[in-house]
Amino acid sequence: MAKNVAEGLWEMLVSAGVRRCYGIVGDALNPVIDALRRNGSVEFVHVRHEEYGVFAAVAEARLTGNPVAVCGTAGPGVMHLINGLLDARKERVPVIAIAGDVESSLLDTDALEELNPYKFFDTAALYIGRLVNPEQLRPMVSTAITTAVAERGPVVISLPGDVAEAAAPSVSLRVPLPATTPGAASAADLAAMADLINQAETVAIFGGDGCEQAQDDVREIAARLKAPVGYSFKGKPWLEHDNPNAVGMTGLLGYGGCHSAINSADVLLMLGTDFPFSAFLPHKDVKTIQVDRDPGKIGRRAPLELGVVGDVAATLRALAPVVEDKHGDRFLREHVRQTEHARRRLGHYVTKGPGLKPIRPEYVAAVLSELADDDAVFTVDTGTPCIWAARHISYGRNRRMFGSLTWASMASASPNAFGAALAFPGRQCIALCGDGGFTMLGLGDLLTQVQRKARVVNVIFNNGMLDFVNIEQQEAGFVPFGTDFVNPDFSQVATALGARGIRVEEPGNVRDALAAALAHTDGPVVVDVVVDPYALALPSHVPVATAKGFTLSIAKQVLSGKMDDVIETIEHNVRLL
């Protein structure tokens, strides 16, 4: 019997390496899911919220490098995919969304649940196809898959149920994927880079996610140039460990000598980074060279002396023979010294952690870092968990870190860790969750983690508020407003949902609780840690406007009768102010 379009679709997706599809079934998708079931090569992961499924898929796709499918059915179900697809776009990962569409005879009639996929997915997807004729199957789905993989981003295949059931044309449905590894920079660019570097007295490096395959190359060139190496949060897992030239991060999460190094070197080498906070990058005096495989990223965050398109590792290898070693290391030593000093300062609340109540979030992150396996996967929520994970967790060569770091959506950590746990069943997958984030999306699909016996350690930084926004409001000079809420005991909720639940209120119990959670291999754990809501996280470099805003906010709070809160904030952070 001839295969139908849905069967052909899965055949193509499987030939491109898709092995998992997250989503919720229904109407238009029923023939698609039936074909998936009969295909047998793709695991369907039934989630409780489509957005959760997409966040899981984004993490899986990024951590494994393979394309991952998600699905939602017509209209509202499809609509729930959007936030995760935008995240996939920003994180540049291949997620292929199969969006159930209304019957083809009803298209463009404002039918029940009808949603125009071209309009709706326009901001998220690199490619949107509406499969309304079986003859489109091979060319359209092939375009979608190839775009997702080669251009690294989300695509959408919108599919009415009646077309999914129609007979597929009998043509080859294999999708041969093109190689996508870009090469080194051009000879002219390499020569220009070498010239600038050789003429400079001091060079600093600032690296991002694009350094993943270039970890040794960056270390080698930094050692030869006596260059301090700073990094974005995405670059930290690749560049900090085993690196005597590491000088920390800049930006709102910043610490160490990074900010000063990259803003005072003669030449700054930006490697594979699209660090979005331009205000922390040099805008004059420093000659900046940016290397990125994606031409669209060149020059958009800081003014450049030279923009170079190329893979970071290949470019550094080609550059190595033409750059001269530098001998003076005063610049490097000064910034390493600043970094050591910053680490000691940041270590204060870690060292004192066992005796400080309410529990300091810094201490929780540091203990997690100490106890987790060498190949643990950490996922982080947008909110203060990002700050603690950036400053207090070490990522050795085999650990991974992932989060919605460019789209910056809340609530991604728990689903990200779930996707990681399915992709790497033997590894510890640790989600650093905000209480706002976990209650936004994590709670309902804790049921999915339970059902799958996924080894996820959900650590909730229970501060009873949207703390990051609270800090933000104060930094901007506002009186904090609309940021607090009331939480249940999450350990009891978790237990009721079938997970292991652990509540921690005493600092002395943090270590044992986290050790027990990390040792739990039979399904998910929720560790509800009641942390200090007044823990402040000031960056290493505080822009003048922030300092002014903060002072203004404190003044306004005093005037509006919130003196107790002000005293708490100051008392709890004397070491940082």
Ligand X SMILES: Cc1ncc(C[n+]2csc(CCOP(=O)(O)OP(=O)(O)O)c2C)c(N)n1
Q: Sheet of 229-231: strands edge to edge?
A: 246-249, 229-231, 203-207, 267-271, 287-292, 306-309
| Amino acid symbol at 329 | D
Is 406 a residue that touches ligand X (CB under 6 A)? no
104: nearest Cα among 72, 81, 134 = 134
Min dist. Cβ of residue 321 to ligand X (A): 45
Task: Say if strands 229-231 and 500-504 run parallel, antiparallel, or are unpaired.
Answer: unpaired
Is 528 a residue that touches Mg ion (CB under 5 A)? no
Is 402 a residue that touches ligand X (CB under 6 A)? no
Candidates 29-37, 175-183, 289-297, 428-436 — which segment interacts with Mg ion by CB under 5 A?
A: 428-436
Is 100 a residue that touches ligand X (CB under 6 A)? no
Phi, psi angles (nearest 5°) of residue 201: -80, -45
Min dist. Cβ of residue 404 to ligand X (A): 8
Is 84 a residue that touches Mg ion (CB under 5 A)? no
Min dist. Cβ of residue 391 to ligand X (A): 14
Min dist. Cβ of residue 569 to Mg ion (A): 15
Burial state string for 124-149 with b = 16 or more CB within 10 A and e = fewer than 16: bbbbbbbbbebebbbebbbbbbbbbb
Is 228 a residue that touches Mg ion (CB under 5 A)? no
In the structure encoding, which two tokens stand for residue 536, read together? Answer: 């402040």
In the block, tokens 């039979």 appear at 522
Q: Which of 468, 490, 534, 550 binds ligand X (CB under 6 A)?
A: 468
Is 23 a residue that touches Mg ion (CB under 5 A)? no
Burial state string for 489-500 with b = 16 or more CB within 10 A and e = fewer than 16: ebbebbeebebb
Candidates 45-53, 316-324, 333-341, 402-410 — which segment interacts with ligand X by CB under 6 A?
A: 402-410
Would you say 33 or 410 has its CB closer to ligand X?
410
Q: Which of 215, 406, 463, 474 binds Mg ion (CB under 5 A)?
A: 463
Candidates 74-82, 363-371, 429-437, 512-520 — which segment interacts with ligand X by CB under 6 A?
A: 429-437
Instruction: Report 371-400 residues binding ligand X (CB under 6 A).
Output: 381-385
**In whole angstroms, what separates CA 507 from the centre of its chain?**
29
In the block, tokens 């470099």 appear at 541
Would you say 5 or 433 has its CB closer to ligand X?
433
Whether omega before 358 lies within 30 degrees of 0, making that bond cis, reads yes
- C-alpha dist (Å) from residue 374 to 72, 122, 174, 534: 36, 40, 38, 31
SS3 content of the chain, % helix, strand, coil (to 5): 45, 15, 35
Contact residues for 314 (Cβ-Cβ < 8 A; gap 6+): 182, 183, 184
Q: Which of 94, 436, 480, 549 binds Mg ion (CB under 5 A)?
A: 436
Q: Which of 435, 445, 532, 565 binds ligand X (CB under 6 A)?
A: 435
In the block, tokens 């009186």 appear at 479
Task: Say if strands 155-160 and 127-130 run parallel, antiparallel, or are unpaired.
Answer: parallel
Candidates 178-186, 258-266, 328-336, 431-439 — which segment interacts with ligand X by CB under 6 A?
A: 431-439
Is 410 a residue that touches ligand X (CB under 6 A)? yes
Is 50 a residue that touches ligand X (CB under 6 A)? no
Would you say 235 or 434 has its CB closer to ligand X?
434
Would you say 221 or 380 has its CB closer to ligand X?
380
Is 239 a residue that touches ligand X (CB under 6 A)? no
Candidates 99-107, 310-318, 350-358, 434-442 — which segment interacts with ligand X by CB under 6 A?
A: 434-442
In the structure encoding, which two tokens stand for residue 395, read together? Answer: 């990522």
Would you say 157 or 529 has its CB closer to Mg ion?
529
Is 463 a residue that touches ligand X (CB under 6 A)? yes
Min dist. Cβ of residue 383 to Mg ion (A): 6
DSSP 171: S
Candidates 92-100, 217-225, 239-247, 462-470 — which segment interacts with ligand X by CB under 6 A?
A: 462-470
Query: Measured between alpha carbons, how far is 84 from 120 in angstroms, rounded to an integer?
Result: 14
- Pick one of Mg ion, ligand X, none as the site partner of residue 469 (Cβ within 5 to 8 A by kind): ligand X
Interface positions with ligand X (CB under 6 A): 381-385, 408-410, 434-437, 461, 463, 465-469
Interacting residues with Mg ion (CB under 5 A): 434-436, 463, 467
